[in-house]
Amino acid sequence: MIPSLLAIGIVASAVTVAPQATAAPAPPAVAKLDKVVKVNSRHLDVTVDSPAMRGKVTVSVLLPRDTNVSRSTVYMLDGAGATGQVSDWLTKGNAAKFFTDKNVNVVLPSGGAGSFYTNWQKRDPKVGMPQWETFLTEELPPLIDSTYNGNGRNAIVGLSMGGQAALALTFRHPNLYTGAASLSGCPPVSGLLNEAYVRATVAKEGGDADNMWGRVGGPDWAAHDPSLHLDKLRGKNLYISAGSGAIGPLDFTTPLDPGMSRPATLLAASGLESGAYRCSLEFALTLRANGVAADVSFPLIGTHSWAYWSRDLPLLWPTISRGL
């Protein structure tokens, strides 16, 4: 019996079991152009199918006169109250006119109201659970560069909420942007006053900032605060601007939002800008104290209004264009 068992063992050990075939992992989903609407020869409204955003995002693209040469790209972010299908930079900020003679692509996403253009932690009943940072920094740039002859050099401009986001995205992705401009933003988001300003901005659009960056003083607030990551901004072309909140002649000619009176508009615009002024000035002083170069503008008159932002493009352009 023993030799027979030994023979069986030898035969069994010689049998080779074929490995099970394993399925190849699915390639990662990438953003794709879903639809392109030609507004005119140099203005396209592009719908992007975004895996990160779990849906379609509308992005306007302004093209230079000569589309045959490679060029840099300027990304422009709206403020918290922008709810239209097209960026306020186009409808209120004269961006199309300003960039007529500039050899750059200009990319203007819409639909980011109250989002701070960041990746939200949790689903919010009003804002949803957008993943703007992933869309803007990972999905969109390669799509723009490959489709519209981009050369990989980028700058980013934002106003109000978008101003904070422009600086946060720049330090979090320092290899992507050569410069950033913040107009009437609140760049530092840590500390009670700064966090309260951000929370109020989100709440004004119906969102809860706990769903964005977590509870008060949580680590995600520090992780999005440019003032705590200054070395990643060193060497960038930075422009910081905010008005004092003082009302000037331009405020009496600005078109009113539906349902808003002139006194209510002036009160809101003055209050918001005075908060942005304090916050931006704090950030500018922090930059200076740490030897981080930036061009700054803090005019004595100016409110949270397109009457002032529409005039800022010629002022910020010399700064951000240095890296393009």
pLDDT tens profile 201-243: 999 999 999 999 999 999 999 999 999 999 999 999 999 999 9
Class of domain 29-323: alpha beta
Q: Which carries the bigger pLDDT value, residue 253 or residue 153?
A: 153
Distance CA 189, CA 221 (A): 6
SS3 233: coil
Give the C-alpha separation, 275 to 266, whole Å. 14
Chain mean pLDDT for the chain: 91
Q: What mean pLDDT do residues 84-90 have?
A: 93
pTM for the whole structure: 0.90
* Mean per-residue pLDDT, 114-124: 98
Is the pLDDT at 11 greater than 70? The verdict is no
Choose from 9-18, 41-50, 81-90 the range with maximum mean pLDDT: 41-50
Give the 3-state secondary structure of residue 3: helix
Residue 237 near residue 323, CB atoms below 8 Å:
yes
Q: Taking 80 as the threshold, does the pLDDT of residue 148 lie above it?
A: yes
For residue 22, what pLDDT is reported?
Answer: 54
In this prediction, residue 237 carries a pLDDT of 98
- The pLDDT value recorded for residue 12 is 39
**pLDDT reported for residue 255:** 83
Q: In this structure, is the dihedral angle defined by the CA atoms of residues 295, 300, 303 and 307, taken in order, positive or negative? A: negative
Average pLDDT over residues 64-71: 93
pLDDT at residue 10, rounded to an integer? 36
Q: Tell me the pLDDT band of 192, cut-offs 50, 70 and 90.
A: very high
Query: Distance (Å, rounded) from C-alpha 172 to C-alpha 170?
Result: 5
Query: Which pair of tokens denotes residue 248?
Result: 């000037």
User: Which two tokens mark 286?
Assistant: 């922090």
Residue 181 parent element (H or E): strand 177-183
Give the Cα separation of 207 and 122 in Å (integer): 11
CA 190 to chain centre: 19
- One-letter-per-residue 3-state SS of 112-162: CCCCCCCECCCCECCCECCEHHHHHHHHHHHHHHHHCCEEEEEEEEEECHH
- Res. 289: pLDDT tops 70: yes
Task: Identify whether the C-beta of residue 154 lies closer than 8 Å to the C-beta of residue 127.
Answer: no
Q: Is the pLDDT of residue 9 over 90?
A: no
